[in-house]
Structure 1
Amino acid sequence: MRILKGMLVSTVAITAFTGLGKTTHIVSAASNNSVVQQKEANVEKKDEKQIIVKFKNEINLPYEDGIEKRIKHEKNDVVLENFFSEFPDLTLTRLFTSVSPEEIQNLDKNAKTDNNNSSSNLLNYYTVQVSKNVQAERLVEKLKQSPLIEDVYIKELENLTPPEIQLPNLSLNPYDDPRFENQGYLKEAPYGINASYAWGIKGGDGKGITFVDMEYGWLLNHEDLINQNIELMSGRNLDQHVGHGTSVLGVVSAEDNNIGNIGITPKATVKVISQIRDNGQYNTADAILSAVNNLNAGDVLLLEAQSSYVGYGKQYLPVEVQPDVFDAIRTGTDKGIIIIEAGANGSNDLDQFKDINGKQVLNRNSKDFKDSGAIMVGAGSSTVPHERLWFSNHGSRIDVYGWGENVDTTSAESSRSILNLYTSRFNGTSSASPIIAGAATSIQSIAKERLGQPYKPNELRAILSNTNTGTQSKNPSVDRIGVLPDLKAILSNLGFKSNASDSESEHPQTGQITEQEPNNQSIQANILDFNATIKGNLNNNDNVDVYTFNIDSQRNIDISTLNEKQIGMTWTLYHESDLQNYVAYGQNDGNMIKGKYEAKPGKYYLYVYKYENKNGSYSLNVK
């Protein structure tokens, strides 16, 4: 066997999994049953580590278990010969076991056809089990001496993103889903992503696109998910964090029915894939590659995970900081898969992050920047204006943000015995990322329906992160978490018009503005007098009051609203020349909602909203 051959990349991983006990409840994809629980006695806790070894580009190894025997036999590298002689119990096994070598070759070949900068060859990733009494650092130092090796490092265990941080004319009918009113992230900008606008466009419900959630626990027979017939693609469905995965699925895929929530794209095909592989090992890269191999260009893969890293402790980082995971992600985006990656809950400035080689791989302005092609998500507040939440990673690598708190969605307990649990407190980049995944799925479905093909990963990332069509955070230069996508602004900019009728839309449209009352009667906007205090109530399904006033000459106006019951409430202001985009919005200051605007002449419309399913009252003053 010739080890030196061609321009291939070889990687050896010395691997481990931690965190499972002997009585873990699992569901295996191989069982052909995604709902029934099983007891699995052979999934045990292992205190082991992973070492990743990356050979230089010209190295080629056959993809087979026990490859160390060939390395020793060929005698091409004295360092590696001595290494395996000193540690005879170590055996190299394949890292990627869910995808055949032939399929991996095809993925790599297709990626290189479309992209000259495609990811590394994945066929030479291997794993070795190392017991806790072996010093991994010592092994790393020995392997670094090999002239065949390009890079070697200890792989930190990726961690699931924690679940807690201490009626228009539409294809869907959200109004019979009783918790829809709690789902503020679905509402119009600047509060949410304006999912209702997308639902008024054919394809906006996600039909024709496959959405996959990667983590390792879900209640797939939850009452608001069961009819989605969600498939476990591969790996094991564990009780650990089952509520987390169930909450993620609810944001994107809760059914359009008369119970619970409604997902952003409930008509998309839904699948899940577990980081706990069929062999019981924790292997994020293998899970990603397995999903990528079974998805088509334009489909959406959500990575609900985060990673530890040497020197960072519990200041978690995006999973792509691990090179094997980066390469798996890049293989997916090269194929055309839309990959949504949680930016992680580490409070880190990602521009300052340096990998073990001292490179700023997450800084877009650095010569060392490495682009996986994934859309990376930060976490913003649920209140307007949205500001970066304290735990969210931030920096130039973050493309967009979603709500990182107070997300209302499906839930579950580890016992799996209750099928109708919900939460209004799902949070973290965990809750932000499925909001973006849902928006991405909606846009891809519309593009496939209207254009005949979905957008490419780089195209969709540019669309979602466009500052002209997204809601910027409170202080963009400080927050550095991108924008919250506004589906109405995005789809309008792309030339897709919603079928939502003007009279029922929650946004002002054209001409005389009317307000839809709960009794289905429409009234004209209320005329507002300057310097007069106006009392108003927003009760039950009466979510908005509309006011209008005229400005004769340019002047500064000061709008203040006393939120008397301190519910979720704010206001937005529109000029008659552009009834699609607000010119000002209220900022919360205690129980006051305030804002100033230098108004040009013309007619204005002021919308006072509530975005919480509670009754409220207010006092409004404009001067």
Structure 2
Amino acid sequence: MDEQDKLQGRPNDDTYDRPRVVVRFREGVRLDERGDLGEQIDRSNLGSWRKLLGQFPGLRVRPVFTLVRGNQLEELIRRAVQMDRTYKPADFGTFFYIDAPSDTDLVALARTLMRWNSVQTAYVDRAGPPPVNPSDDPQRVNQGYLDPAPDGIDAEYAWTMPGGDGAGQRLVDLETGWTLDHEDLVAHGATLLHGSIYDPYRSHGTSVLGTICAVDNTIGCVGIVPALDAVNVVSFHGSSRPNAIFAAIAHQNFGEVLLLEAQVYLNGTTLLGPIEAYDAEYEAIRLATALGIVVIEAGGNGTNNGSTPPLNMDTYTTLSGQAILNRDEANPEFRDSGAIMVTAASAAAPHTRRPYAPHGRRIDCYAWGQGITTLESVPGSLTNGYTASFSGTSGASAIIAGAALSVQGGVAAQVPPQPRFSPRQLRAILSDPATGTLPSPTEATQIRVMPNLRRIFDEVLHVAPDIYIRDFVGDTGEPHGGAISASPDVFLRPTLAADPQAEFGAGSTLADSAALGWTAEAGQDNYIYVRVKNRGGAAATSVVATVYWAPVATLVTADLWTLVGSTTLPSVPAGDVLTVSSAIVWPQAAIPGPGHYCFVALIGNAADPAPAPAEFLVWENFTTFVRANNNVTWRNFNVEDNAPDAHDPSTPDFKALEFIAPGAPDRGREMALEVVGRLPPGAGALLEMPLVFFRMLQARQLAADAIIDQERGVARIAVNPNRRTNFGYVLFPAKSRMAFRLLIRIPEEKRDQTYQVFVRQVWQQQEVGRVTWQLQPGRAQR
């Protein structure tokens, strides 16, 4: 047998897909697919291909992603970045398959490739069979997964609600075989969009679709969502899983569901796990979720026989030692594809994990993994078969996909119509213990919850809350172009309020006050309150408000934040009722000193989670979150006397307003400072800056006449007291902390009025932060 015959050899007994290695070169590496890829690797000094062939004869290179390329791929990525600001596009052109003869040690090949400097990672790609567990005993429970909780997901209740039967929703199922003309499916008119049907696995796909959407036609079964608008399939037989995912993406829109009925062998072993454990599949899935496509992913069936321990996602590591599936906040190696990860549990309640099924914090939902009554097929013939023994994470994932489609149908059917949930929102809803069925108290592993559609429809869809915290007085919770640092809804008080709701809440004289508190008192505990509104249709429960302090700065990135604490608002009523939290105590020992501070507040609950502080360290997230995400705000609004600071001999006639102008947390960026005054005639204003900043302005020919104070290392430049003064773009080094003072002089005869002035920081013509001062008569009240 020659090498080409070996490459085209028969598949192993337990897999139809020939094992191979995937190599992911570092970003920017390009190979011309029209030429000999091996020779190009040598010529480009990416590694020694000839030496590799000497060690592993018969290798052949080919690209992984071949279906969507060029402008079409660029357009998908552009849309993904626009829709999901946390999405970091992959360089899909750096993925290549290394096909090898059947006797090749693929693990050794992958480890060898990982030693090349040009390679980001390499791994063994070996497809497993469909994630069904054939060793389960048949249980004729007659579609009990449709029953009310705790037994099932209560699809029967969802059918009584508009859209709960999946009306108007669309599904794409990814696997390799189906009998699409089965009597309980044919009415859907399902189409094979990509790949070819693999006869041995027709029954598997037929059972999956039957569980989800068998039509309500008085015969056979009925699926969880029998009224789907469209059911289509993509096959990776004769193709690849990454290209099949791309084929699905090309046919799907925001809020539609993609079910991944596949599993892979991990690290060249017999341990089966989710396909996102492979880099190429992970990046394809992440693109899908960034585009708003809801991805349901089977967690895999462990060893498929229960003879060895199943996959523990918390302890699994790749060949390079990375814990990519461990969803631990302290684990920097975890990567979140955005997919809803599913495991399998017993049919009987209280539910326990099936012996073969995966577990760990990465699991979002469980569902029945045994005794599932659904459709069955025999390759090429049977179109009216049924079974009572479908099982495995295949069956569980089909049930969760049905639940997802039911929820999306319910939200789309609301009056007035509401947009479907994003992948992150829907994952939070389906995995919420407050609206799901917990596993048995005896279950020692982490498998999260099984969704309860009755509670989701009653408590989420019918009473869908939409909580928000205002960025400025007049903010309605919509994305906006207004102020981003003048929130009236996070404020500090030196004493506890006897009745915060009566004093600061709806109907109070202070409901729209932006000047409730700003200065920390020395020598005592201080108290921070948060106000929340709900523009949704019903009360939001268990809303957690978390507050951080930061120094007064024009750019308040997360690396400046220090946690103060959290409090829970038990209920925030619907109807935009301003609701006040209980006090968050800022202990005396934790306060750096008396004076002004910036406060950042994050709000959220299980159905509408708050963004994590770490997300703000990504610059693209930071520049959009405060305006586009109504669950976060900051307060950089300070109230001061408008009289001069008598205690500062260097500026005896001026009020000194201190702040810092930081750089971005990741790298240096060109930004501009802009001072905007609203001061009376006869007023004066100076911006005092460190000499290093002044020298940068001089280098750009942006510095006007200045007063230089060499002893203090500062320069002062006059600014227009009642107009805008822009100092132009200069490089702010990463994590720099330049100290400034805005010096204001109000004529004595004008000090009976209140004035405002602010300094803002601008990046690419977009305001990314500001500090506002309100200058008022007399001693500013606290």
Interval containing the TM-score (normalised by the shorter chain):
0.5 to 0.7
Structure 2 counterpart of 1:333: 289
Structure 1 counterpart of 2:410: 446
How far, CA to CA, are the matches of 1:144 and 1:480 in structure 2? 33
**Structure 1 counterpart of 2:233, from 268, 272, 276:** 272
Q: Does 1:468 align with 2:424?
A: no
Matched residue type, 1:430: S
Cα deviation for residue 193 of structure 1 reads: 0.9
How far, CA to CA, are the matches of 1:478 and 1:156 in structure 2? 30
Which range moves more in the overlay, 475-484 or 290-299?
A: 475-484
**Structure 2 counterpart of 1:367, from 323, 332, 349:** 332
Normalization by structure 2: what TM-score?
0.53
Asked if the contact 1:65–1:94 (Cα under 8 Å) also holds between the matched residues in 2, the reply is: no
Cα deviation for residue 127 of structure 1 reads: 2.7
**Structure 2 counterpart of 1:118, from 83, 88, 101:** 88
Cα deviation code 1:424-443 (max 9, x no counterpart):
11111111111100010111
Asked if the contact 1:251–1:264 (Cα under 8 Å) also holds between the matched residues in 2, the reply is: yes
Q: Do the aligned partners of residues 124 and 77 (structure 1) sit closer, same or farther apart at CA in structure 2, a change above 3 Å counting?
A: closer
Matched residue type, 2:248: A
Q: Does 1:496 align with 2:462?
A: yes
Cα deviation for residue 134 of structure 1 reads: 4.3
Cα deviation code 1:109-161 (max 9, x no counterpart):
32233234435221332334322244445543543342211212222224321
Q: Does 1:304 align with 2:265?
A: no
Asked if the contact 2:87–2:290 (Cα under 8 Å) also holds between the matched residues in 1, the reply is: no
Structure 2 counterpart of 1:159: 129
Q: Do the aligned partners of residues 445 and 62 (structure 1) sit closer, same or farther apart at CA in structure 2, a change above 3 Å counting?
A: farther
Q: Do the aligned partners of residues 106 and 84 (structure 1) sit closer, same or farther apart at CA in structure 2, a change above 3 Å counting?
A: farther
Matched residue type, 1:453: P
Structure 2 counterpart of 1:343: 299
How far, CA to CA, are the matches of 2:419 and 2:11 in structure 1? 42
How far, CA to CA, are the matches of 2:462 and 2:9 in structure 1? 47
Asked if the contact 2:410–2:461 (Cα under 8 Å) also holds between the matched residues in 1, the reply is: no
1:38-117 matches, within 5 Å, as: 48-61=18-31, 66-73=36-43, 75-77=44-46, 79-80=48-49, 83=52, 90-113=59-82, 114-117=84-87
Cα deviation for residue 491 of structure 1 reads: 1.4
Matched residue type, 2:402: G
Cα deviation for residue 94 of structure 1 reads: 2.5
| Paired residue secondary structure (2:99) | coil
| Paired residue secondary structure (2:326) | coil
Structure 1 counterpart of 2:279: 323
Matched residue type, 1:483: V
| Paired residue secondary structure (2:96) | strand
Cα deviation code 1:240-262 (max 9, x no counterpart):
12111111000111011111111
Matched residue type, 1:162: V
Q: Do the aligned partners of residues 294 and 223 (structure 1) sit closer, same or farther apart at CA in structure 2, a change above 3 Å counting?
A: same
Matched residue type, 1:98: L
How far, CA to CA, are the matches of 1:200 and 1:154 in structure 2? 47
Q: Do the aligned partners of residues 162 and 58 (structure 1) sit closer, same or farther apart at CA in structure 2, a change above 3 Å counting?
A: same
Asked if the contact 1:378–1:481 (Cα under 8 Å) also holds between the matched residues in 2, the reply is: yes
| Paired residue secondary structure (2:367) | strand
Q: Do the aligned partners of residues 193 and 131 (structure 1) sit closer, same or farther apart at CA in structure 2, a change above 3 Å counting?
A: same
How far, CA to CA, are the matches of 1:108 and 1:84 in structure 2? 36
| Paired residue secondary structure (2:123) | strand
Matched residue type, 2:231: V
How far, CA to CA, are the matches of 1:158 and 1:439 in structure 2? 26
Cα deviation for residue 91 of structure 1 reads: 4.4
How far, CA to CA, are the matches of 2:16 and 2:411 in structure 1? 46
Structure 1 counterpart of 2:181: 221
Cα deviation for residue 363 of structure 1 reads: 1.1
Structure 2 counterpart of 1:457: 423
Structure 2 counterpart of 1:588: none
Q: Does 1:204 align with 2:164?
A: yes
Cα deviation for residue 288 of structure 1 reads: 1.3
How far, CA to CA, are the matches of 1:385 and 1:140 in structure 2? 43
Which range moves more in the overlay, 124-133 or 356-365?
A: 124-133
**Structure 2 counterpart of 1:379, from 324, 334, 344:** 344
How far, CA to CA, are the matches of 1:87 and 1:473 in structure 2? 48
Structure 2 counterpart of 1:620: none
How far, CA to CA, are the matches of 1:343 and 1:402 in structure 2? 12
Cα deviation code 1:468-511 (max 9, x no counterpart):
1001110276141111101110111124289xxxxxxxxxxxxx
Q: CA RMSD in A?
A: 2.8
Structure 1 counterpart of 2:249: 292
Structure 2 counterpart of 1:238: 198
Asked if the contact 2:58–2:101 (Cα under 8 Å) also holds between the matched residues in 1, the reply is: no
| Paired residue secondary structure (1:252) | helix
Cα deviation code 1:517-547 (max 9, x no counterpart):
xxxxxxxxxxxxxxxxxxxxxxxxxxxxxxx
Asked if the contact 2:16–2:127 (Cα under 8 Å) also holds between the matched residues in 1, the reply is: no
| Paired residue secondary structure (2:110) | helix
Cα deviation for residue 225 of structure 1 reads: 0.8
Cα deviation for residue 388 of structure 1 reads: 1.4
| Paired residue secondary structure (1:481) | coil
Matched residue type, 1:351: D
Q: Does 1:192 align with 2:149?
A: no
Q: Do the aligned partners of residues 103 and 69 (structure 1) sit closer, same or farther apart at CA in structure 2, a change above 3 Å counting?
A: farther
Asked if the contact 2:124–2:268 (Cα under 8 Å) also holds between the matched residues in 1, the reply is: no
Matched residue type, 2:332: K
Asked if the contact 2:411–2:461 (Cα under 8 Å) also holds between the matched residues in 1, the reply is: no
How far, CA to CA, are the matches of 2:388 and 2:56 in structure 1? 52
Q: Do the aligned partners of residues 387 and 48 (structure 1) sit closer, same or farther apart at CA in structure 2, a change above 3 Å counting?
A: closer
How far, CA to CA, are the matches of 2:321 and 2:397 in structure 1? 28
1:457-606 matches, within 5 Å, as: 457-475=423-441, 478-496=444-462
Matched residue type, 1:92: V
1:159-178 matches, within 5 Å, as: 159-166=129-136
Gaps of 5+ in 2: 1-6, 303-309, 465-782
Cα deviation for residue 333 of structure 1 reads: 0.8
Structure 2 counterpart of 1:417: 381
Cα deviation for residue 330 of structure 1 reads: 0.9
Larger Rg: 2
Cα deviation for residue 101 of structure 1 reads: 3.2
Q: Do the aligned partners of residues 434 and 48 (structure 1) sit closer, same or farther apart at CA in structure 2, a change above 3 Å counting?
A: closer
Cα deviation code 1:262-290 (max 9, x no counterpart):
111122110111121xxx24x21221121
User: What is the number of residues matched between the two proteins?
Assistant: 442
Structure 1 counterpart of 2:354: 389
Structure 1 counterpart of 2:11: 19
How far, CA to CA, are the matches of 2:9 and 2:27 in structure 1? 28
Structure 1 counterpart of 2:593: none
Asked if the contact 1:362–1:370 (Cα under 8 Å) also holds between the matched residues in 2, the reply is: yes
Which range moves more in the overlay, 108-117 or 468-477?
A: 108-117
How far, CA to CA, are the matches of 1:318 and 1:312 in structure 2? 14
Matched residue type, 1:275: F
Structure 2 counterpart of 1:254: 214
Structure 1 counterpart of 2:395: 431
Asked if the contact 1:16–1:50 (Cα under 8 Å) also holds between the matched residues in 2, the reply is: no
Q: Do the aligned partners of residues 460 and 241 (structure 1) sit closer, same or farther apart at CA in structure 2, a change above 3 Å counting?
A: same
> In percent, how many aligned pairs have the same letter?
35
* Highest RCO, 1 vs 2 (Cα 8 Å, sep ≥ 6): 1
Matched residue type, 1:354: T
Gaps of 5+ in 1: 1-14, 22-44, 167-179, 499-623
How far, CA to CA, are the matches of 1:337 and 1:47 in structure 2? 27
Asked if the contact 2:347–2:369 (Cα under 8 Å) also holds between the matched residues in 1, the reply is: yes
Asked if the contact 2:410–2:457 (Cα under 8 Å) also holds between the matched residues in 1, the reply is: no
